[in-house]
Amino acid sequence: MARPSTLQYALILIFAAAQLATAHEHHDDLSEEEMQAPTDAVLWIHIFLQAAVWGVLFPIGMVLGITRSRWHVPVQSVGFVLTAGGYILGHSHKGRMFLPSIHGSFASVLFVPIAAQLLLGIYLKLHIHEGSIRPWAVRVHGVVGKAYPILGWTQMLFGAITYRGYCRGGNLPQCLAHYIMGSGFIAYAVIMALMLLVGEAWVRRSGRSPEWWDSWVIMLWGIVNTFTEHRGSGWSVKDMQHTILGVLWWAGGLLGIFLARNNKRNVVPAIILILTGWAMSEHEQHLMISTKVHAMFGYTVMLAGLTRIMEVCFFSAPTKAEVVDDDSNSDHTLAEPSPRYPPPSRYSAPEVDSGKIDAAKAFRHLPAFLLVASGVLFMSATDEELDFVHNNEMDHVTYILIMFSIAFFLYALIVFVIGLYPTTGRNAPAKEDRNNIPMTTRSNSKWYSRVPNPEALHVIGEEDEED
């Protein structure tokens, strides 16, 4: 009974915040002094609180919901209460004032998924209509919950843009290009990390190699860019470059799809990354710092493509079938799944090079991290941002190192949230399996069994010799 009450309390707070927002006065005409006033403590609390809730707490709660953890409802309930409080703080601050913005408008839109998630959560806790409505409510609840990281990421970007007063007037097209493409690189990295840590078994069952999925996304995105990068009657140098990049992507994506048939791996998506990075590194900008940042972005994308080629060609560990059957057709298979706790059978098979498997698992983080770094660098390379950095006399080395620091933190958060999936809820190993591990029996899933100790491996080897 207590949990639904918490949800209901959060719902009341959220609707109260909505009423407060409706009554809050927005200013269409502000003076420069009002917009440049110092940021007060209330606004800082709003910023950090909402970033923590939408960037950390809600993604954690989403994973706990997927694994059916008993902590899902408490975590999400705390998140709902905090986000309602943060919303009120965002309309209660003094000091710096802001013009009407997409951040404020989108905050009101977010009440729809928040209210839907709360009402669905309360309904599901009642356990009624088990054979009719409830299965559909479960699906909708899951879809809305999985959209939370995307919604939170979008709102946080809108908040950063609003705080600095960017992306207004003629600066909007450049902002859209940088923030959408930068977010796309980070999303690409998240998908790659998902396949690395928990999703490779699903990819195997799909019968498609990772490059098949990559190539489809690249081709479709290239088609969009081919017809949206040019505006007006004249063709600028950048128009031509961006349009031909769109052609490069859909042409290369088409080849990648063809080569990925029959579950084969290929390096075409990686080559497209390298060519895209090279093109971006050659973009001349109006400021030296802008040229340097764009060049570093291009080099990072090129390195991501190079490391992806190395992963495909040299770090794809052999599958069990290849070891047993000596099958040389490795391009028809993916690398061996990367379980958190590998089964003893891998270590007891003398044919399997466990060192190569460990090296493959370690190396495959590199392309994903570099894609995150690429996305952060590209989003930080708009003219307005770099004008601000230049006017504050910060050099490009310091600025780029700040962006890489953000990328390290962001990738750590991505890996941490994904890592909750095999360790929480229904996927968590039982206590008896952790403290008393029978090495001769298999756990329910080979993804989550513990790493065997050397003594146990020795026993297994002796048993195999006796057999």
Q: Which residues pair with 95 in a beta bridge?
A: 39
Is there a domain that residue 53 lies in? yes
Overall average pLDDT of the 152-167 stretch: 92
At 95 the pLDDT is 79
Expressed as residue numbers, the domain containing 125 is 1-165
Residue 409 domain flag:
no
Q: For position 275, what pLDDT does the model report? A: 95
- 283 falls within a domain: no
In a domain, 135, yes or no: yes
Q: Is residue 458 part of a domain?
A: no
| Res. 467 pLDDT band, cuts 50 70 90 | very low
Q: Would you say residue 123 lies in a domain?
A: yes
pLDDT band for position 433 (cuts 50, 70, 90): very low
Contact present, 162 and 355 (Cβ < 8 Å): no
pLDDT at 39 over 50: yes
Domain total in the chain: 1
pLDDT at residue 232, as a whole number: 67
Rounded-to-10 torsion of CA 279, 215, 415, 157: 60
Give the pLDDT confidence of 322-343 residue by residue, as tens digits: 444 443 333 333 434 434 444 4
Q: How many CA atoms lie within 13 A of 241 on its CB side?
A: 13
Name the residue among 88, 101, 111, 83 with its Cα closest to residue 26.
Answer: 101
pLDDT, tens digit, 9 for 90 and up, residues 75-106: 999 999 999 998 888 888 887 888 888 998 89
**pTM: predicted TM-score of the whole model, two decimal places:** 0.79
| pLDDT of 16 strictly over 60 | no
Residue 8 lies in a domain: yes
Q: Considering only CA atoms, which of 407, 381, 402, 209 is closest in space to residue 304?
A: 407
Cα gap 35→444, rounded to integer Å: 59
* Average pLDDT of the segment spanning 163-167: 89
**Alpha carbon distance 196, 188 (integer Å):** 12
The answer to whether residue 24 is domain-embedded is: yes
What DSSP letter does each residue of 178-239 carry, written as one string?
HHHHHHHHHHHHHHHHHIIIIIHHHHHHHT--HHHHHHHHHHHHHHHHHTTS--SSS--HHH
Residue 54 is predicted with a pLDDT of 94
